[in-house]
Structure 1
Amino acid sequence: MGWLNGLFIVLFWWGFLVPTTYELQSYETQILLQLRKHLEYPMPLDIWQNFDGDLCFLSPTPRMSISCQGNSVTELKIMGDKLPSAQVSDGYSGFPVHNQTLSDSFSMDSFVTTLTRLTNLRVLSLVSLGIWGPLPDKIHRLYSLEVLDMSSNFMFGSIPAQISRMVRVHTMVFDGNFFNDTVPDWLDSLSNLTVLSVKNNRLKGSFPHSLSRVTSLTDVVLSHNAISGELPDLSALSNLHLLDLRENRLDSELPALPSGLTTLLLSNNSFSGAVPSQLGKLNQLQHLDLSRNSLSGMPPSELFSLPNISYLNLASNMLSGSLPRSMNCGEALGFVDISSNRLVGSLPSCLDSTSGKRIVKYGMNCLSIDTKNQHSKSFCQEASTSQRKHFPGKAIALLVGVVGGIMIIVVLLAVGLFIFCRKTASRGPVNLHSAPKVVLDNSASTMSSELLANARIISQAAKMGTQGNLVYRLFSMEELAEATHRFDPSVLLGEGSIGKIYKGKLENGSYVAIRSLILHKKFLIRNLKLRLDLLSKLRHPHLVNLLGHCIDGGMQDDSAVNRVFLVYEFVPNGNFRAYLSETSPEKVLKWSDRLAVLIGVAKAVHFLHTGVIPPSTSNRLKTKNILLDEHLIAKLSDYGMSIITEETDKSEAKGDSSKQRNVTKLGDDVYNFGFILLESLVGPVVRDKGEAFLLDEMTSFGSQDGRRKMVDPIVLTTSSQESLSIVVSITNKCISPEASRPSFEDVLWNLQYAAQVQAAADSDQRSDAPSLSQDS
């Protein structure tokens, strides 16, 4: 009977425990299903809907995976498709607004509350899911968390200070959001932190000194923010391999840096002083980019001979002196850019680009080689003397400018806050996600009157035209004549099929570009105003802003005109094509920079296709119409011309249905963007050779040897094979002669994926010159 008693005890405890286990699994299953509801049923989670078993046993996919231990979820990874394809804000608070976010009913607080019930979660990755709003402090309740990745969403405000209590976290990634507060200064509380990546946000203020005490760090990526001031001594970070602070506003001298660095990216800041000799002792360094700063003096020759250095970019600084003729270069060095400095003398033998061993760019110096692309020696001497002589005065002017700028900003913020509060009080809460309707005059038009009268902006981005600081207004002919010296030929910027473009200077001192647009037929004023009203609402960070217009000779609504002047912001740094040409070697962009330009333009065109009803089609996409501002941010020009020209009318005359016509025109934009991609890969393409010829040439991209022959060397030496393959593939699809081309959303997704792959390749210290390394 003893064995029966034992069996009874076992059965008793089994019966006691099984319901508890079942309830626990059911509880966490319900949490997961509730999270799916919060996220508005994203496609990667469709598999959950009809799955009757334990979600822990679901097979992982590239966009979803769940891992469990015991009866608890320990890893949750979801990747959606709601990419922040237009980084726009409301113009006052910097909060994101975009039709890719989750709906108005989404509650960040409720979502995080549900999420924190998964108390044993160690890995959490929620990427591109449209999550928007400030991240609540209660996120710290995930006390077991080790990896947190919420990149490519729409979170804004500050990174919660309570995260400092999540002491087990070793990887924290918030890339591609809208965080607009200062960089946290409590990071030294995270003693296990190894990877910190918060690139492509709007973080401001100074670089946190506390970060220099987190000795466990291996990767710090804070690029593409607005961090300013001094970079502190980071030499104590003995485990740091990657430091990426590109595209910020840091303006100190370069400090002492860790000896174990393999990748150092500090371009597009305002670093000054000499390049420290200590950099020439970083024997692990593989990739160094100090371009577009204000560094001066003679660069240490030891930099070029570092044993592992493969990529060295010192372009666009104020470096001077003569590099030693007998200077040695490291065996791994595949790319060197010392262009746009003030170097004199001859080029060291190891930088002789004719050897074919490495790519060297040295234009726009005062070197004694290739003098047609060099300044005279006196230019560099005078520039250096002028800099030393006038530096105190410049410093004072800079100080006065900064102080004055701060005072202006304070006043504007105060006025803006007052207006904002008044509007909020009188109109109730601001809805960041509603789709405003463009109110248009109900008048006859050759473009469908119903179409124009019901035109609306889907994306909140367009509403910024009435809220931001770029106010659209009417100009008089007298103003434009004065701004252009009576349209003098000396201010003519160019002439195209739809009119001339002039550079003008307004009375307030600002520069503008003025297009004299010749219409194919006369329009009634009221009809033309309908079209201009819609065009004026198109606001996007990657579109050249339309500031206003002037109707030539038209006074009454029933007057007929055939010429209108469009006034745009002036974009100073020329067009994208010039940055791809071998004739301007000092300006040629590397692969990651080309991707940034392409992504910016794709975001703009995606907005024109999906953010406006009716969509803006036939947007004249070509590399000459992509302009770069002072920060090399891409801005598309010549867009939306179909709204106020006869192109729409011609399509209507053919009797096509509206839907089919739009599909065709959207496909044309995709097709033309394909040739922009092609030029980005191989350099400027001469379309005059015929599209058939170019399409035949694309077939050679299929082989490695074919790519080496066709692809621009700067692309080959600064790209990973995977990133390059992604862009080659989407290029082929865009210029396919078949009608079924990808949507711009697909194009954008592929380009952003290629950029992520390239960033990962840089982080993994892959060679930036794959073809050279294979040859050697």
Structure 2
Amino acid sequence: MGCLSLSLLVFLSWFLFIPGTHQLQSSQTQVLLQLRKHLEYPTPLEVWNNYRGDFCYSSSSPHIVITCQDDSVIELKIMGDKPTKVSKFNGFAIPNQTLSEGFSMDSFVTTLTRLTSLRVLSLVSLGIWGSLPDKIHRLSSLELLDLSSNFLFGSIPSQVSRMVKLKTLTLDVNFFNDTVPDWLGSLSNLTLLSLKSNRLKGPFPSSICRITALTDLALSHNEISGKLPDLSSLTSLHVLDLRENHLDSELPIMPKGLVTALLSNNSFFGEIPQQFGHLGLLQHLDLSFNSLGGTPPDTLFSLPNISYLNLASNMLSGSLSNHLSCSSELGFVDISTNRLTGGLPSCLSTTSDKRVVKFGWNCLSIDPRHQHQESYCKEVHLKSKQSGGNGIGVLVGVIGGLIVMVVLVFGFLVLCRRYCSREASELHLLPKAVADNSPTGFSSELLANARFISQAVKLGTQGVPIYRLYTLEELMDATNNFDQSTSMGEGPEGSIGKLYKGRLENGTYVAIRCLALFKRYSIRNLKLRLDLLSKLRHPHLVFLLGHCIDGGGQDDSSVNRVFLVYEYVSNGNLHTHLSESSPEKVLNWSEKLAVLIGVAKAVHYLHTGLIPGFFNNQLKTHNILLDEHRIAKMSDYGLTIITEEIDKLEAKGEGHKSWQMTKLLDDVYSFGFILLESLVGPSVSARGETFLLNEMVSFGSQDGRRRIVDPIVLATCSQESLSIVVSITNKCISPELSTRPSFEDVLWNLQYAAQVQMTADGDQKSDAASQT
């Protein structure tokens, strides 16, 4: 009887226990299924369609991870396929790839909070949109929150400050547009804070300096302004990324353990602190595109671990010490576009495959073809001192300027009465030349009022030669009357106009492109177009130095030819380098990525740096030139603005907007084939577009890649880096326009591939060192 009672007790215990456990698992399952419904059944969750088991024990994949403990979900990671793509069209940002209008962020978070034991939550690229509600703090056990690459906007809710267990907070690539919260300092356990690529504004919150556990801080690509405070209290900080903001103060003291500091594209001024030269763990320092002055500390170059040092496009002056020494780890140095004088220290001037040094457009005594005269740097330095010195002089100058303005305005009004009637009659004679319904969308009014969007000016290329007008006689002298011996041909198929190599009177070599004009423009209209083209200034564009208009007669409309004068880039084009067999000219995978990233930056600038944008940019490997440092420079860009080939669209009845969007996506498609040629080499790509499109299937397997991918690429790349580029290449050459990525997406993927490759190279180097 005793045994029977004991058996009955065990049975009842088991019976009572099982329903409770089943009910708990069912509750978690229902929450997950409800979340899937909120997210409108994303592709990564299709594996749940026919799954009848316990989701806590389902297999993980790169796109979805579920981890459970004690029958509760403690980790949920979902990687979607809806990147934060923003189409920039006619100067406006238009988000797409979002969930439907029926999506409710409030309801979604309410459902999420039923996973009360959740410690890790990562919901990336799922098209989530709306304002993040305060109730997110109910996930009080969270240690990691990642909502990157979505469409969240408004402010980051203050209730997040109550989530004191958070160690990682990542909200990159969203549309948060309030100030950076000052309550972040209350998250004392935070080790990683990343709010990159939002629209956050206001000052840098000083409370962040209280998070002593912080190892990674990334606030780049926002609109943060004002002073950057002393960061030395962040004793655990290794990575600091504040690129592309509006910070305008002197550089503060940095933490001693800093490994990476990215501070480019701000408005930092003053001298580089000597303390930077004592950051013994620093490996990567980027201070480019600021307003820093003085002479950089010698110790920066000899830091024991420094591998990347970029000081380009500042106002650095003085001479570098002849005794300056460079760290053996230093692989890249850029001091170009500053005001430096004197010679180049031997450790920077010695040619080496292990170190790339860029030093153009200073006033150095080396390589005079790419330097200013020393007087230029002294004049600029003198002007800056004078402008900061005499307040009375400034006041007198302002008053004098006002008087001059009044006189000029009065004179203008007098002249205008005489001239306007004549101008109107001239324009009336040539209505087609200035029509506002041109299929290019480049009407005279638009051309005259073309404007840069905010970030384009910050690219500024200080030290670039001033754009000027050339006479036909100057160009004839430079080319020996356009002798056949100076002809560089008409370029590859699809190039526009004949190209000549010339040597100006001052000894500078230039490339001169002659364009025959079959479209009739008024001089005014043509000059407006050329003026717009002259505004294009980017480090990865071949600089347009000036032009010459050759008229065929007295009639204002009878322009025969236009000569465009470019800088001469002597190191060949990408097509040649891809087909080179000599070891010193072959590009390895990292070098190819650097070239491709440079071109992608240039094209992205052409699309978005000026309103209206420049599309249909003759993208091919023949038109990507490499300078002596293997820096990519794109040629033949923007020429459709002054050629007639655009008129072919007029017969098809395509409007300006549809033309613009189509040509933007055509540039993406053309760039896809540049990527493809970089992967397979020109010998394979020469077999034709159809062959390559069919062979893209081969990239999906290791054997297929070994068969078609360039052996040099295979020998020098990591598989992960290669896979990223293969994936974005597939998207670029998609036959469906709607599925092609934006150039922002292309650029992001290439930079990510380069970062992955750099990490792989570093690991390989460490492994090799440990074995010796």
Q: TM-score, normalised by structure 1?
A: 0.65
Taking the aligned partners of 1:769 and 1:381, their CA distance within structure 2 comes to: 46
Equivalent position to 1:578, from 542, 566, 572: 542
Cα shift readout 1:344-390 (whole Å, capped 9, x = no counterpart):
11111111242333111101111111111111111111111111111
The 3 A distance-change label for structure 1 pair 317 and 594 is farther
Where 1:8 maps in the other structure, the secondary structure is helix
Structure 1 position 191, deviation (Å): 1.1
Taking the aligned partners of 1:227 and 1:12, their CA distance within structure 2 comes to: 64
Structure 1 position 7, deviation (Å): 2.4
Q: 1:598 is aligned with what amino acid?
A: A
Higher Cα radius of gyration: 2
Look up the match of 2:165: 168
Look up the match of 1:672: 670
The 3 A distance-change label for structure 1 pair 285 and 41 is same
Any residues of structure 2 matched to 1:5-404 within 5 Å, and which? 5-86=5-86, 98-392=95-389
Any residues of structure 2 matched to 1:748-767 within 5 Å, and which? 752-758=748-754, 767=762
The 3 A distance-change label for structure 1 pair 292 and 723 is farther
Cα shift readout 1:632-689 (whole Å, capped 9, x = no counterpart):
9xx98969x999844485799xxxxxxxxxxx9999655422355479999xx9x9x9
Q: 2:49 is aligned with what amino acid?
A: Q
The 3 A distance-change label for structure 1 pair 201 and 88 is farther
Where 1:261 maps in the other structure, the secondary structure is coil
Structure 2 alignment gaps of length 5 or more:
399-418, 454-519, 545-566, 575-590, 625-632, 655-661, 693-704
Structure 1 position 111, deviation (Å): 0.4
Taking the aligned partners of 2:68 and 2:313, their CA distance within structure 1 comes to: 52
Where 1:140 maps in the other structure, the secondary structure is helix
Taking the aligned partners of 1:744 and 1:130, their CA distance within structure 2 comes to: 17
Q: 1:221 is aligned with what amino acid?
A: A
Structure 1 position 622, deviation (Å): 2.9
Of 74-83 and 746-755, more deviation after overlay is shown by: 746-755
Look up the match of 1:447: none
Look up the match of 2:740: 744
Equivalent position to 1:703, from 681, 699, 711: 711
Q: 1:16 is aligned with what amino acid?
A: L
Where 1:128 maps in the other structure, the secondary structure is strand
Structure 1 position 17, deviation (Å): 1.9
Where 2:376 maps in the other structure, the secondary structure is helix
Q: 1:755 is aligned with what amino acid?
A: Q
Q: Is the 8 A contact 2:79 2:126 kept in 1?
A: yes
Cα shift readout 1:413-457 (whole Å, capped 9, x = no counterpart):
xxxxxxxxxxxxxxxxxxxxxxxxxxxxxxxxxxxxxxxxxxxxx
The 3 A distance-change label for structure 1 pair 622 and 644 is closer
Taking the aligned partners of 2:718 and 2:99, their CA distance within structure 1 comes to: 35
Where 1:77 maps in the other structure, the secondary structure is strand
Q: 2:379 is aligned with what amino acid?
A: E
Structure 1 position 756, deviation (Å): 3.6
Q: Is the 8 A contact 1:298 1:319 kept in 2?
A: yes
Taking the aligned partners of 1:4 and 1:103, their CA distance within structure 2 comes to: 61
Q: Is the 8 A contact 2:607 2:615 kept in 1?
A: no
Q: Is the 8 A contact 1:64 1:78 kept in 2?
A: yes
Look up the match of 2:468: none
Q: 2:541 is aligned with what amino acid?
A: R
Taking the aligned partners of 2:729 and 2:88, their CA distance within structure 1 comes to: 30
Any residues of structure 2 matched to 1:405-416 within 5 Å, and which? none
Look up the match of 1:629: none
Taking the aligned partners of 1:198 and 1:584, their CA distance within structure 2 comes to: 42
Q: Is the 8 A contact 2:311 2:336 kept in 1?
A: yes
Structure 1 position 231, deviation (Å): 0.5
Where 1:109 maps in the other structure, the secondary structure is helix
Q: 1:113 is aligned with what amino acid?
A: T
Look up the match of 1:692: 686
Q: Is the 8 A contact 1:670 1:741 kept in 2?
A: no
Taking the aligned partners of 2:248 and 2:144, their CA distance within structure 1 comes to: 32
The 3 A distance-change label for structure 1 pair 76 and 703 is same
Q: 2:16 is aligned with what amino acid?
A: F
Taking the aligned partners of 2:392 and 2:29, their CA distance within structure 1 comes to: 63
Where 1:386 maps in the other structure, the secondary structure is helix
Structure 1 position 603, deviation (Å): 12
Taking the aligned partners of 1:579 and 1:680, their CA distance within structure 2 comes to: 24
Percent of paired sites with the same residue:
49
Q: 2:347 is aligned with what amino acid?
A: C
Q: 2:311 is aligned with what amino acid?
A: L
Where 1:577 maps in the other structure, the secondary structure is coil
Taking the aligned partners of 1:642 and 1:191, their CA distance within structure 2 comes to: 63
Where 1:205 maps in the other structure, the secondary structure is strand
Structure 1 position 62, deviation (Å): 1.0
Structure 1 position 598, deviation (Å): 2.9
Any residues of structure 2 matched to 1:259-658 within 5 Å, and which? 259-392=256-389, 506=448, 572-574=535-537, 576-578=540-542, 583=569, 595=597, 598=600, 619=616, 622=619, 645-647=647-649
Look up the match of 1:473: none
Q: TM-score, normalised by structure 2?
A: 0.65
The 3 A distance-change label for structure 1 pair 368 and 568 is closer
The 3 A distance-change label for structure 1 pair 166 and 312 is same
Where 1:355 maps in the other structure, the secondary structure is coil
Taking the aligned partners of 1:153 and 1:395, their CA distance within structure 2 comes to: 53
Structure 1 position 195, deviation (Å): 0.5
Structure 1 position 73, deviation (Å): 0.5
Where 1:280 maps in the other structure, the secondary structure is helix
Structure 1 position 286, deviation (Å): 0.6
Structure 1 position 19, deviation (Å): 1.0
Where 2:231 maps in the other structure, the secondary structure is coil
Q: Is the 8 A contact 1:262 1:284 kept in 2?
A: yes
Taking the aligned partners of 1:261 and 1:377, their CA distance within structure 2 comes to: 36
Q: Is the 8 A contact 1:280 1:302 kept in 2?
A: yes
Look up the match of 2:702: none
Structure 1 position 34, deviation (Å): 0.5
The 3 A distance-change label for structure 1 pair 187 and 579 is farther
Cα shift readout 1:58-115 (whole Å, capped 9, x = no counterpart):
1111111111111101111111111121166999xx9x85331111100000000001
Structure 1 position 691, deviation (Å): 7.4
Q: 1:577 is aligned with what amino acid?
A: L
Structure 1 position 25, deviation (Å): 0.8
Where 1:51 maps in the other structure, the secondary structure is coil
Q: 2:686 is aligned with what amino acid?
A: A
Taking the aligned partners of 2:422 and 2:3, their CA distance within structure 1 comes to: 104
Look up the match of 1:533: none
The 3 A distance-change label for structure 1 pair 485 and 234 is farther
Where 2:182 maps in the other structure, the secondary structure is coil
Cα shift readout 1:218-248 (whole Å, capped 9, x = no counterpart):
0001110000000000101111000000000
Where 2:224 maps in the other structure, the secondary structure is strand
Larger relative contact order (Cα-Cα within 8 Å, sequence gap ≥ 6): 1
Where 1:324 maps in the other structure, the secondary structure is coil
Look up the match of 1:712: none
The 3 A distance-change label for structure 1 pair 200 and 600 is farther
Taking the aligned partners of 2:353 and 2:29, their CA distance within structure 1 comes to: 61
Q: Is the 8 A contact 1:727 1:751 kept in 2?
A: no
Q: Is the 8 A contact 1:85 1:603 kept in 2?
A: no
Q: 1:674 is aligned with what amino acid?
A: G
Taking the aligned partners of 2:452 and 2:740, their CA distance within structure 1 comes to: 32
Taking the aligned partners of 2:736 and 2:57, their CA distance within structure 1 comes to: 38
